[in-house]
Amino acid sequence: MGKRKSIIVSLFMISFLLLSCDDIIVDPTDTSSDTITDSTTEPTTSSSTDSTTDSTTTTTQPPLERLLTPVLFLNDAHTGVVWDEVSGASSYSVKVNEEIFEDASEHLFSSEIGEYVITVTAIADGVNYLDSEESLPFEYETKDIFLSDLTRVDMSVSWTSIGFKTEVKFNNEQYVETTSSTYVASRTGEVSVRVLSGFKEDENIYYVGDTIEKSINVVEVGLDLYMIEDVEGRGNSDLQEDWIPTKYEDNTWKSTAAVASVSYEAFGENNTQSLKLDVWKNGSAFRYSRDIDLAHSYNALSLLVKGDDDVDYTLRFNDIETGIYADYKIDDASSNWVYHHIRFDDPAWAVAYGNNVYNLVQVAETLNYDHPGELVTLFDQFQIIVKGTFVSPGPQTYVLADEIALVNDNTPSRSEMHYDLDGRYTGENASAIYQFSNNGATGVFESLSLEYNYALSVMIETDVNSIKLTSIDDNGKSLYYEGRISHHGDKITYVKVTGTYAFLVADLSLSKVKVLDDFESYEETGVGYDVNHSPLERSGLRGNYYTDYYSGNENNPSPLGGKNWSLVSSTDYLNLETDDVHSGNNAARLKRSSTIRYINYNSYTGKNPGYGGGNSKFSFWAKSPSVDVKLRIRVYYVSQVNASNQVSGGSVSSTVDIVVEGGLDWQQYMMDINSEKIVFGYSFSTVEGATSYPLIDDVELFSANPWVV
């Protein structure tokens, strides 16, 4: 009995131990026991013996399942990988290269440059499942984004970029994605390129870094020439609308009475008009501004300028919004026409910014332009600034500009002074009159006074604004004379002299003899603007003079004369004289009855090129066959005579009364004029008296009398 009881207890204990083993999970990789194997390949068995029947029963345990393998994919932001939840997984182990991260729910891409391999394992709950297999690897590379400097060839912009996405835009348009590395602009503007970071799926590359953005300006090349102002065909109102004047006063620019207007002082074969800018020499600066809107590049600015020798110019391109401007100063202003060709890469251009001054080449490099000529597209005004030189109130004067243009060529910066040296020059020194006649490369320098009766052939050389006369074959009598040319060649101012005759001509300055009218060009008396004829019918001698008279009433009013002045109606008021002349074949016969005035017609219309400056005398020859005739002579320094200025003096005109004695032969009459002024016109007025017909011939300007023998 005791032995049986002991066996039953032993069997019960064994059965209990075997049943307890069903609750134990075994690591399939554990090889410490030969009785437990991989649950997926060999089932676990247990045996028991019934104590009453003495039989054995075997039970099979279900195998442990391995968790499903995670499938990796990009997160919504494409900044890393995620995976769907694996049923039964308690956590996930992420392996990145050789580093393991436990309890991970996603993996964000690394910003460190390098190559990466990611795998994920689903971790079992420790009861019912085995860990999953490692996922298929997700491989990627992290790289920095990159954008090279933008380069330009004409309107084409190129670059090299590395990144998630490259975008391009023009001016203020929206960025658009591009797969190209070139953008061709169709017009002037700014091309911008940017590279963005992000994950590029087709390359499995994660691009990192802050967005890189670069811009470059593209400018269309202009035509060979763009004319800012040529004045041709434009009137005063046109110019005054476009050229806005201001005067610098009290540290600011203020409005002024100065105006822009048409001048008929012009240079060039087909050039008849120029831009006249009023200036007062009172120490202030006068500025004339014209709006511009340029979309093309140019290499240079060119223009013609002319004015007093004492006046300097500044040419300015100005940006109204920023107040930034580029200046080019012309400090060799002349009374000769000077053609300036000023390249934009000329270092004399000055841009003031802060306390520094830069040239246009430096500015172009800073602003990423190909060359400085492209900068003209940034400016919206072209300005001419003239500074006075005398104290207030100072005399009024003007400067001229013409053919203001932007050009594209390869010529260097230069200035060319233009003047006309053809004709005769006279000068007086120590009461002796000298004459210089120009025949091109050679000429004759001679004394007109009998006391020094000599004539020398001279070789002529010019250099910028100077003239040099050197005697040729002088037979022991030599002369070298040098002078400065001004007033478009009308005046030669003494500089120095050497040679045998130096003592005679030291300090001798010369002025060109200007023939205003010798009446030789007329073939007939012709038709004038009078009561019976319109201005369009003008011809001959009468067509070249505007004639009116003081009627004392308002009949047939004279447009020029004002109140009580009328157009002439007589048929004999001005005739071409061919029998009694001073020189040549023709003279003019005036009429004296009432007060009749004869003005050169250009002074009436204002379309007046003038007669130049530099001379100090107005001269004419006159004769009255029978009675004394009083003449009032006026010389005008303004291009147009009107009712308000016709009797003004000072800077407008010079006036003198002379009496032509009756019964005498031809006599010469002279009056002093302002040699610093341009002479634009003249008038003869016969003062009221008995009807008579005085004669006029050889109307001239000079400084020394060429009629002296």
Q: Which pLDDT score is estimated for 24?
A: 33
Q: Which residues contact 351 (CB under 8 A, 6 or more apart)?
A: 324, 325, 326, 327, 357, 358, 359, 360, 363
Q: With contact defined as beta carbons under 8 Å apart, do 484 and 465 qualify?
A: yes
The verdict on 571 and 670 lying in the same domain is: yes
Q: Is residue 709 part of a domain?
A: no
Q: With contact defined as beta carbons under 8 Å apart, do 678 and 610 qualify?
A: yes
Q: Determine the Cα–Cα distance for residues 547 and 531; give it in Å rounded to an integer.
A: 10
Q: Is residue 270 part of a domain?
A: yes
What DSSP letter does each residue of 312-347 carry, written as one string?
Answer: EEEEEEE-TTT--EEEEEE----SSEEEEEEETT-T
Q: What is the pLDDT averaged over residues 362-376?
A: 93
Domain boundary among 369, 389, 418: 418
Q: What is the pLDDT averaged over residues 63-86?
A: 94
Q: Which residues contact 452 (CB under 8 A, 6 or more apart)?
A: 432, 504
Q: Is residue 708 part of a domain?
A: no
In Å, how far are 120, 122, 593 from 85, measured between CA atoms?
A: 12, 9, 125
Tens of pLDDT, residue by residue over 211-236, are 999 999 999 999 999 999 999 999 99
Q: Is residue 179 part of a domain?
A: yes
pLDDT confidence band for 361 (50 / 70 / 90): very high
Instruction: Characterize the bridge pairing of strands 274-280 and 260-263.
Output: antiparallel
Q: Which of 252-256, 280-284, 521-525, 704-708 has the lowest mean pLDDT?
A: 280-284
The verdict on 349 and 279 lying in the same domain is: yes
Q: Determine the Cα–Cα distance for residues 608 and 639; give it in Å rounded to an integer.
A: 6
What DSSP letter does each residue of 187-209 carry, written as one string?
Answer: SSEEEEEEEE-EEETTTTEEEES
Q: What is the pLDDT averaged over residues 166-172?
A: 97
Domain extent at residue 579? 516-702
pLDDT > 70? residue 3? no
H/E/C letters for each residue in 256-300?
CCCCEEEECCCCCCCCCCEEEEEEECCCCEEEEEEECCCCEECCE
Q: Determine the Cα–Cα distance for residues 46 and 14; give it in Å rounded to an integer.
A: 10
The verdict on 44 and 179 lying in the same domain is: no
Q: How many CB atoms lie within 10 A of CB 314?
A: 18
Residue 450 has what DSSP assignment?
G
Q: Which of 40-44, 249-253, 312-316 has the lowest mean pLDDT?
A: 40-44
The pTM for the full model equals 0.75
Tell which wins on pLDDT, 61 or 365: 365
pLDDT > 80? residue 161? yes
Q: What is the pLDDT averaged over residues 99-103?
A: 93
Tens of pLDDT, residue by residue over 451-486, are 777 889 999 999 888 999 999 976 777 899 999 998
pLDDT > 90? residue 10? no
Tens of pLDDT, residue by residue over 109-151, are 999 999 999 999 999 987 889 999 999 999 999 999 999 999 9
Q: What is the pLDDT averaged over residues 585-603?
A: 95
Q: Determine the Cα–Cα distance for residues 608 and 489; give it in Å rounded to an integer.
A: 19
pLDDT confidence band for 284 (50 / 70 / 90): confident
The verdict on 476 and 435 lying in the same domain is: yes
Name which of 400, 374, 349, 407 is nearest 243 in CA terms. 400
Where does 60-161 have alpha helices with state H? Answer: none
Tens of pLDDT, residue by residue over 655-703, are 999 999 999 999 999 999 998 888 999 999 999 889 999 999 999 999 9
Length reported for the chain: 709
For residue 599, give the H/E element and its range. strand 596-600
Per-residue burial over 208-221, b if 16 or more Cβ lie within 10 Å, else e, is: bbeebebebbbbbe
Q: Determine the Cα–Cα distance for residues 535 and 67; give it in Å rounded to an integer.
A: 113
488 torsion bin: left (phi>0), alpha (psi -120 to 50), beta (else): left
How many domains, in total, are found in the chain?
6
Q: Is residue 543 part of a domain?
A: yes
Q: Which of 41-50, 186-195, 395-404 has the lowest mean pLDDT?
A: 41-50
- Alpha carbons within 13 A on the beta-carbon side of 499: 21
Using DSSP, state whether 32 is helix, strand or coil.
coil
Q: With contact defined as beta carbons under 8 Å apart, do 88 and 128 qualify?
A: yes
pLDDT > 80? residue 413? yes
The verdict on 372 and 454 lying in the same domain is: no
Q: Is residue 119 part of a domain?
A: yes
The verdict on 449 and 596 lying in the same domain is: no
The verdict on 565 and 454 lying in the same domain is: no
Q: Which pLDDT score is estimated for 282?
A: 64
Q: How many CB atoms lie within 10 A of CB 708?
A: 14
Q: Which residues contact 622 (CB under 8 A, 6 or more apart)?
A: 631, 660, 666, 667, 669, 694, 695, 696, 697
Q: With contact defined as beta carbons under 8 Å apart, do 607 and 680 qualify?
A: no
Tell which wins on pLDDT, 399 or 183: 183
The verdict on 482 and 408 lying in the same domain is: no
Q: Determine the Cα–Cα distance for residues 95 and 119; give it in Å rounded to an integer.
A: 5
Q: What is the pLDDT averaged over residues 298-306?
A: 96
Average pLDDT of the chain?
88
Domain boundary among 494, 509, 524: 509
Tens of pLDDT, residue by residue over 487-506, are 889 999 999 999 988 988 99
Tens of pLDDT, residue by residue over 683-696, are 999 998 899 999 99
The verdict on 251 and 116 lying in the same domain is: no
Q: Which pLDDT score is estimated for 397?
A: 80
Q: Determine the Cα–Cα distance for residues 18 and 150; give it in Å rounded to an integer.
A: 81
DSSP bridge pairs for 381: 291, 318
The verdict on 139 and 149 lying in the same domain is: no
Q: Determine the Cα–Cα distance for residues 687 and 693; give it in Å rounded to an integer.
A: 12
Q: Report the CATH number that the domain containing residue 343 is assigned in CATH.
A: 2.60.120.260
Using DSSP, state whether 59 is helix, strand or coil.
strand
Cis peptide before 393 (omega within 30 of 0): yes
Q: Which pLDDT score is estimated for 47?
A: 44
Q: Is residue 106 part of a domain?
A: yes
Which amino acid appears at position 78 of this protein? H
- Alpha carbons within 13 A on the beta-carbon side of 678: 27
Name which of 100, 64, 68 is nearest 84 in CA terms. 68
The verdict on 45 and 82 lying in the same domain is: no
Tens of pLDDT, residue by residue over 238-282, are 999 999 999 988 889 998 888 999 999 998 878 899 999 988 776
pLDDT > 50? residue 6? no
Q: What is the pLDDT averaged over residues 520-541?
A: 97
Q: What is the pLDDT averaged over residues 324-342?
A: 90
Q: Is residue 591 part of a domain?
A: yes
Q: Report the CATH number that the domain containing residue 125 is assigned in CATH.
A: 2.60.40.10
Name which of 400, 410, 398 is nearest 303 in CA terms. 400
Q: Which residues contact 294 (CB under 8 A, 6 or more apart)?
A: 222, 226, 376, 377, 379, 406
Name which of 570, 553, 560 is nearest 646 in CA terms. 560
Place of tokens 């032969």: 665
Name which of 693, 700, 636 is nearest 670 in CA terms. 700
Using DSSP, state whether 18 is helix, strand or coil.
helix
Q: Which pLDDT score is estimated for 390?
A: 52
What DSSP letter does each residue of 655-689 carry, written as one string?
Answer: EEEEEE-BT---EEEEEE--TTS---EEEEEEPS-
Residue 415 has what DSSP assignment?
E
pLDDT > 70? residue 377? yes
Q: Report the CATH number that the domain containing residue 212 is assigned in CATH.
A: 2.60.40
**CA 449, 452, 455, 459 torsion: positive or negative?**
negative
- E-strand ranges in 480-557 read 480-486, 491-498, 510-512, 514-517, 545-550
pLDDT > 80? residue 561? yes
Q: With contact defined as beta carbons under 8 Å apart, do 311 and 333 qualify?
A: yes
Q: Which pLDDT score is estimated for 657?
A: 96
Name which of 645, 657, 705 is nearest 681 in CA terms. 645
Which amino acid appears at position 535 of this protein? P
The verdict on 440 and 543 lying in the same domain is: no
Which amino acid appears at position 688 of this protein? E
Q: Report the CATH number that the domain containing residue 445 is assigned in CATH.
A: 2.40.128.210
Domain boundary among 101, 116, 143: 143
pLDDT confidence band for 18 (50 / 70 / 90): very low
Q: Which pLDDT score is estimated for 389?
A: 57
